[in-house]
């Protein structure tokens, strides 16, 4: 177990693994997303109150879920970096932040499209929406931090401090915004069960799974790029690319 962990956080080993597994993972994720979304859009039943409109759930919920999960994994990575100085953790944070920003934007966008017919407005300053918007701002602020230092190590440390403080603060922001305004329906899926009918739930779960696979694949690719940027002058990089020729 420990050996596996050590191998995963070593740049050359991770790079090779990612290089091999990326095509399969990427293809699989596209297939799963297509399966989930197409099933949801064309074959799942019509919702009784919302009609056809609800089908955007198959994009909205996975995007929102991925957007939040990315932040939590980044918090874990930041703690790892601050305590053990594992470089892979900072590579992870820096690669995932842009993905998080994109998916947060996607969640907001699909949410707006969904809100227009159901709530009667593209945007309300409601708790869930506002805190998602803040999540997007936080992602963008973290990304803008990437280029504000001269030294690599300073950037890594600054990013992990901001990610960690943001991670502690995010639930507080959420709560305070909730006191401020709430309209968004409560969570449909909890650990104890789901209030979504099975026929609708299964494609949704497939779609969520597909989004996670996609983020894993693209995240791995982005981490490879980040590793190359850092290790470009190392021998193992040269070896890999000379071998290929």
Interacting residues with other proteins (CB under 8 A): 44-50, 54, 57, 82, 117-121, 124, 134, 137-138, 140-141, 144-145, 148-150, 153-154, 157-158, 161-162, 164-166, 168-169, 172-173, 175-177, 179-180, 182-183, 185-188, 195-197, 199-200
For other proteins, which is the closer residue by CB, 136 or 227? 136
Closest distance of CB 161 from other proteins, Å: 5
SS3 123: coil
Closest alpha carbon to 221 in 63, 92, 59, 103: 92
Closest distance of CB 93 from other proteins, Å: 15
Distance from C-alpha of 162 to C-alpha of 13, rounded to nearest angstrom: 29
163 touches 145 (CB < 8 A) = no
Nearest 5°: the CA angle 196, 118, 177 is 85
For other proteins, which is the closer residue by CB, 29 or 207? 207
SS3 151: coil
For other proteins, which is the closer residue by CB, 29 or 160? 160
Q: Dihedral through CA 86, CA 92, CA 95, CA 97, nearest 10?
A: -110
140 touches 98 (CB < 8 A) = no
Closest distance of CB 71 from other proteins, Å: 13
For other proteins, which is the closer residue by CB, 168 or 232? 168
For other proteins, which is the closer residue by CB, 28 or 161? 161
Residues 6+ apart with CB under 8 A from 113: 56, 122
For other proteins, which is the closer residue by CB, 38 or 153? 153
Distance from C-alpha of 236 to C-alpha of 245, rounded to nearest angstrom: 15
Closest distance of CB 75 from other proteins, Å: 14
Dihedral sign for Cα 85, 89, 94, 98, please: negative
Closest distance of CB 44 from other proteins, Å: 8
Residue 189, strand partner residues: 194
Closest distance of CB 230 from other proteins, Å: 17
């Amino acid at each position: 177990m420990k050996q596996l962990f050590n191998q995963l956080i070593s740049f050359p080993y991770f790079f090779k693994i990612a290089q091999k597994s990326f095509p399969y993972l990427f293809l699989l994720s596209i297939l799963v997303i297509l399966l989930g979304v197409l099933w949801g859009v064309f074959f799942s039943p019509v919702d009784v109150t919302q009609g056809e409109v609800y089908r955007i759930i198959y994009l909205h919920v996975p995007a929102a879920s991925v957007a939040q999960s990315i932040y939590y994994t980044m918090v874990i990575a930041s703690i790892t970096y601050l305590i053990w100085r594992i470089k892979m953790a900072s590579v992870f944070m820096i690669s995932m932040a842009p993905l998080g920003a994109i998916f947060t934007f996607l969640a907001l966008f699909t949410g707006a499209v969904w809100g227009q017919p159901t709530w009667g407005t593209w945007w309300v300053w409601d708790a869930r929406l506002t805190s998602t918007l803040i999540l997007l701002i936080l992602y963008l602020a973290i990304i803008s931090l990437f280029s504000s230092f001269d030294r690599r190590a300073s950037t890594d440390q600054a990013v992990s401090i901001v990610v960690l403080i943001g991670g502690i603060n995010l639930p507080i922001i959420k709560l305070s915004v909730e006191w401020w305004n709430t309209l968004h329906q409560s969570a449909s899926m909890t650990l104890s069960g789901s209030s979504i009918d099975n026929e609708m739930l299964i494609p949704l779960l497939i779609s969520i799974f597909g989004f996670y696979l996609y983020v894993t694949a693209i995240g791995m690719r982005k981490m490879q790029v980040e590793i190359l940027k850092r290790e470009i002058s190392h021998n193992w990089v040269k070896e890999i690319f000379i071998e290929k020729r």
